[in-house]
Amino acid sequence: MRLETDRLLLREYRAEDLAAIYNYQTHPAYLRYAPWSQRHKKDVQNFLHNLIEWQNEQPRIKFQLAIELRSNQELLGSCGLRKTRDTAFEAELGYEIDPHHWGEGYATESVRAILKYGFDDLQLHRVFASIIADNLGSRRVVEKLGFTYEGQLRENRRFKDRWWDTCLYGLLKDEWAKAA
């Protein structure tokens, strides 16, 4: 599977992506909203192994892709849609960007590409995102793309010795079509 934008290539994961993933997943800014306080190489190996396994599932229900900069093939992060079952008409959106590239529009650009794939090719009716309320940058990504704020789950996640709220966002196919 391969999706292209002006600046990005969204592609399947490969074993050689390990070093780049490890580099950004151990960055202090990345770890701020992650449920773990530190990331070990074995954790990242397991993460990458799962992503590659998802690519081979039949029928495929998880479409998490590596985000690569077309100009120099640098791995910037991950973006994808995860359905709960093959016949589902909704999927959860997930994305992460190397903190060295925050604020450059790569999250918005990659999410736009995966949404097009989800609504056009997977025939999804709805895409939703669950975002830590404090993660304002991530919330701005979905808001820019027309997602509707659907509510907030108060203190529903506990990690790093505190409770975190989660904001829920949703986007329907007809809303996407109007905005696109």
Determine the residue type at 52: I
Q: What DSSP state is assigned to residue 80?
A: E
Catalogue the E-assigned strands of the chain.
Answer: 2-4, 8-11, 62-69, 75-82, 90-97, 126-132, 148-159, 162-172
Q: Please tell me the total count of domains within the chain.
A: 1
Q: What is the pLDDT of residue 114?
A: 99
pLDDT tens-digit series, residues 153-180: 999 999 999 999 999 999 999 999 988 7
Q: Are 102 and 140 in contact (CB under 8 A)?
A: no
Residue-range definition of the domain harbouring residue 42 = 2-179
Residue 36 has pLDDT above 90, yes or no: no
pLDDT tens-digit series, residues 92-102: 999 999 999 99
Q: Are 7 and 69 in contact (CB under 8 A)?
A: yes
For residue 88, what is the enclosing H or E element?
none
User: Distance between CA atoms of 88 and 120, rounded to whole angstroms?
Assistant: 15
What's the pTM value of the predicted model, to 2 decimals? 0.95
Q: Looking at residue 31, which CATH number applies to its domain?
A: 3.40.630.30
Angle between helices 136-144 and 106-120 (to 10 degrees): 50
Q: What is the pLDDT of residue 155?
A: 97
Q: DSSP for 29-56?
A: HHHTTSSSS---HHHHHHHHHHHHHHHH
pLDDT tens-digit series, residues 70-122: 999 999 999 999 999 999 999 999 999 999 999 999 999 999 999 999 999 99
